[in-house]
Amino acid sequence: MKSSKLSWLLVAILSIIVLVFTYKFTVGEVKPSDDGRLAVQLSKDERNAVLLEMRTWLQNSQAMLAAVSSQDFATAANIAKSSGMAAEAATPGSLFRKIPLEMKKLGFDTRQKFDEIAVDAEKLKDTQHTIKQISTAMNNCVACHANYRFVEAAK
């Protein structure tokens, strides 16, 4: 009888731990911001990493537009690949518990869109198609900036 109670106690404790981690993974470390967005609380290094990634996406979007305007689809594809899912390996793991789920979805979707741009640019070599894809990917950027901001967490 004692081992049964102990087993149930362990199940309850482990369930609580799983729920806490699930909650943190889903909600992230956010606070309401005075501008109506959610302020994602990050360390200085994490914040710098996210800001660098966003600048890279913006620079790569501009570089892809320049490349396809010159009909240089190979360059556009290479640039797109550099921001695709393979680049996710450079993202600090600590961000996954701090960034809210919806923001994670936008980030992964953006990376997937860059991968699609790379494939289609090489295969289709269609300027208008690539421009539409870049525009669609940038809608994720607009949505993210409209809803979130990054602040250094208090130490």
Element (H, E) at 138: helix 127-147
> Is 18 within a domain?
no
How far CA 35 is from CA of 39, 40, 116, 142, 148, in Å, comes to 9, 13, 34, 16, 10
Distance of CA 130 to the CA centre of its chain: 21
| 72 is a domain residue | yes
Q: CATH number of the domain that 84 lies in?
A: 1.20.120
pLDDT value of position 152 = 95
Residue that has been written with the tokens 């789920």 in this structure: 101
pTM value > 0.85: no
Backbone angles phi, psi at 149, to 5 degrees: -140, 160
pLDDT at 12: 72
Q: With H, G, I as helix, E, B as strand and everything else as coil, classify residue 54.
A: helix
Helix (H, G, I), strand (E, B) or coil at 18: helix
Sign of the dihedral through C-alpha 107, 111, 114, 119: negative
Give me the tens of pLDDT residue by residue for the chain, a chain 155 residues long: 677 887 887 777 777 766 556 555 565 899 999 999 999 999 999 999 999 999 999 999 999 999 999 999 999 999 999 999 999 988 888 888 899 999 999 999 999 999 999 999 999 999 999 999 999 999 999 999 999 999 999 87
Asked if the structure places residue 110 within a domain, the reply is yes
Measure the CA–CA gap between 19 and 12, rounded to whole angstroms.
10
Task: Please report whether residue 11 resides in a domain.
Answer: no
Q: Say what the pLDDT of residue 106 is.
A: 96
On whether residue 2 sits in a domain, the answer given is: no
Number of domains in the chain: 1
Q: Provide the domain limits for residue 32.
A: 28-152
Q: What are phi and psi of 71, to 5 degrees?
A: 60, 25
